[in-house]
């Protein structure tokens, strides 16, 4: 069941909302939480009911381990809990890829395992690992089974994030106001949902046509012009941008309909002036998880080892090459490799992660040696900001070629075409059209010149956490304040028009999956 399907919008969602608030109105809060968990399980089962037992087992095991860690912290038990989670993730997501890679390396003829990847296993596994780690560190409160069940299964974030923390959702399940319909939250939530739906079905799905054509042509080994290749790569960049942006808006909007705020997961990443800033804006909760539970522990351990060896820690800006390689570059590359393969079992995903690891290492190196005024990205002034944003976007486009391609060979072929290996040989109208040019220009204008959803709804609380305010709109605060969304007839008309076109498109054809539903 997809967020952009008629079955979800006209059937599942109204039933889920009505049941939740009826039980809340009767002051049956525990029952309302159970209802939320059960309807979320129905939502998950609609994809494949055979995935449900694994999800329930994962929830039961992690809840049991978490309760024991809360009462008596044990590092051994924590390691066992993490190992169980990673073991299940490895078996279902990576065992077949690993077996195939080993067989290819040694020339063995091994049978295919035919393991079906359970939907959302990457997301709920990381979420529960974070819960176990936080519980071990004493950062969580003892919680009831219904609350934990709803915390993991809550359908707006279950399939593709955001990856939430215990402290972000559980306290909201204990607030009396959550169980009463709140007009402002419902208005804001519905607005965000319709904006996200518009991004998905009108923007992302339309540019996807051109991205698919180019990547399919590259997979067949066709010779492409530089223009065609870049247009295809940029088309996919904008497709995944609006696809994930749309999903993130819809997830937060759905949470608000139930009186629950989810953390921000998307913050106009193509407005970033550096790769470091880009990863603080793209899939924010994944970056947060990897930083807190992988990158920081690696750096801490390496630092302690260095101090134990009698080596001093250099001051900022005076780091020698060896120290930079050990304490910055290596942990960064490791973290980004994990982010890459988290997305999928394939060498192309590993390449995607390593490419971004190289980008980040270079970016950190620049910050280490650059003048203080330039360390945090672009200095003030459009003369530097614009090329910084363009360079960052270009780097992102190149890396996403590996993310989208079926294998490394296809990605390398397309990248070579992008950099003129075959020269400008011909133009095929079916691969590159004026309509595509206009669509690309329009989408880039939206990305770089328009306020994002958080900017437009800045007068009302939406997601959890902080996001960057658009610098241009901050300088023109009166304009932003005048155009910011508020519950009024004029804005109701605007949202109504957006919703009409989005719903008409969504109901007129078979719904397309969100890209991140594959991970």
- State the sign of the Cα–Cα–Cα–Cα dihedral 454, 459, 464, 470: positive
- Annotated catalytic residue within 283, 343, 356, 413: 343
Do 260 and 169 form a contact (C-beta atoms < 8 A)? yes
Distance CA 432, CA 424 (A): 13
Distance, C-alpha 153 to centroid of its chain:
17
* CA distances in angstroms from 501 to 110, 187, 208, 293, 481, listed in the order given: 51, 19, 18, 42, 26
Do 332 and 357 form a contact (C-beta atoms < 8 A)? yes
- Residue identified by tokens 């993130």 is 248
Backbone angles phi, psi at 266, to 5 degrees: -155, 130
Helix axes 408-418, 382-404, angle to 10 degrees: 140
Three-class DSSP category at 428: coil
Copy the structure tokens of residue 99.
């077996």
**Could you count the other beta carbons within 10 Å of the beta carbon of residue 104?**
10
- State the sign of the Cα–Cα–Cα–Cα dihedral 115, 119, 122, 124: negative
Whether the bond between 28 and the residue before it is cis, its omega within 30 degrees of 0, is: no
**Could you count the other beta carbons within 10 Å of the beta carbon of residue 189?**
24
What is the 3-class SS of 189-252, one letter each residue? HHHHHHHHHHHHHHHHHHHHHHHHHHHHHHHCCCCCCHHHHHHHHHHHHHHHHHHHHHHHHHHH
Distance CA 456, CA 484 (A): 5
Distance CA 293, CA 288 (A): 8
DSSP 106: H
Distance CA 115, CA 99 (A): 12
- Residues 6 or more apart whose CB falls under 8 angstroms from that of 198 comprise 246, 498, 499, 501, 502
Do 85 and 57 form a contact (C-beta atoms < 8 A)? no
Distance CA 407, CA 410 (A): 6
Distance CA 121, CA 139 (A): 24
Three-class DSSP category at 261: coil
Q: Is 343 a catalytic residue?
A: yes
**Could you count the other beta carbons within 10 Å of the beta carbon of residue 60?**
13
- Active-site residues, by number, are 343
């Amino acid at each position: 069941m997809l967020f952009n399907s008629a079955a979800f919008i006209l059937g599942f969602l109204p039933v889920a909302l009505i049941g939740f608030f009826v039980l809340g109105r009767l002051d049956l809060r525990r029952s309302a939480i159970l209802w939320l968990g059960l309807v979320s399980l129905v939502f998950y089962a609609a994809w494949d009911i055979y995935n449900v037992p694994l999800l329930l087992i994962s929830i039961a095991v992690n809840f049991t381990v978490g309760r024991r860690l809360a009462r008596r912290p044990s590092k051994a038990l924590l390691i066992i809990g993490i190992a169980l989670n990673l073991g299940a993730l490895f078996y279902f997501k990576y065992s077949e890829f690993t077996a195939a890679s080993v067989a290819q390396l040694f020339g063995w003829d091994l049978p295919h395992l035919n393991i079906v990847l359970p939907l959302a296993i990457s997301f709920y596994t990381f979420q529960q690992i974070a819960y176990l780690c936080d519980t071990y560190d004493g950062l969580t409160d003892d919680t009831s089974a219904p609350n934990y069940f709803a915390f993991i299964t809550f359908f707006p974030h279950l399939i593709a994030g955001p990856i939430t923390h215990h402290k972000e959702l559980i306290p909201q399940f204990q607030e009396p106001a959550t169980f009463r319909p709140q007009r402002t939250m419902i208005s804001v939530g519905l607005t965000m949902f319709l904006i996200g739906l518009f991004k998905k079905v009108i923007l992302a799905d339309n540019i996807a046509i051109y991205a698919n054509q180019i990547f399919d042509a590259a997979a067949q080994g066709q010779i492409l012009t530089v223009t065609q290749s870049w247009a295809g790569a940029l088309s996919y960049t904008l497709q995944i941008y609006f696809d994930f942006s749309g999903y993130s808006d819809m997830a937060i909007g759905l949470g608000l309909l139930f009186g629950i705020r989810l953390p921000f997961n998307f913050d106009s990443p193509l407005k970033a002036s550096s790769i470091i800033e880009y990863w603080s804006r793209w899939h924010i909760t994944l970056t947060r998880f990897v930083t807190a539970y992988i990158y920081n522990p690696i750096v801490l351990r390496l630092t302690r080892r260095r101090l134990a060896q009698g080596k001093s820690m250099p001051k900022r800006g005076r780091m020698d090459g060896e120290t930079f390689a050990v304490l910055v570059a290596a942990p960064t590359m490791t973290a980004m490799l994990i982010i890459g393969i988290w997305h999928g079992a394939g060498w192309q995903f590993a390449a995607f992660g390593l490419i971004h690891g190289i980008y980040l290492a270079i970016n950190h190196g620049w910050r280490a040696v650059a003048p203080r005024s330039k360390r945090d990205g672009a200095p003030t002034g459009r003369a530097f900001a614009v090329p910084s944003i363009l360079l960052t976007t270009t780097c992102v486009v190149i890396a996403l070629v590996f993310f989208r391609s079926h294998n490394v060979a296809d990605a390398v072929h397309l990248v070579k075409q992008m950099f003129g290996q075959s020269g400008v040989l011909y133009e095929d109208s079916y691969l590159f059209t004026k309509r595509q040019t206009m669509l690309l220009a329009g989408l880039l204008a939206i990305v770089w010149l328009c306020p994002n959803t958080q900017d437009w709804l800045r007068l009302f609380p939406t997601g959890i956490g902080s996001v960057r305010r658009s610098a241009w709109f901050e300088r023109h605060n009166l304009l932003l304040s005048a155009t910011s969304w508020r519950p009024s007839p004029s804005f109701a008309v605007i949202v109504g028009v957006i919703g009409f076109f989005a719903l008409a498109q969504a109901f007129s054809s078979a719904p397309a999956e969100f890209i991140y539903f594959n991970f």
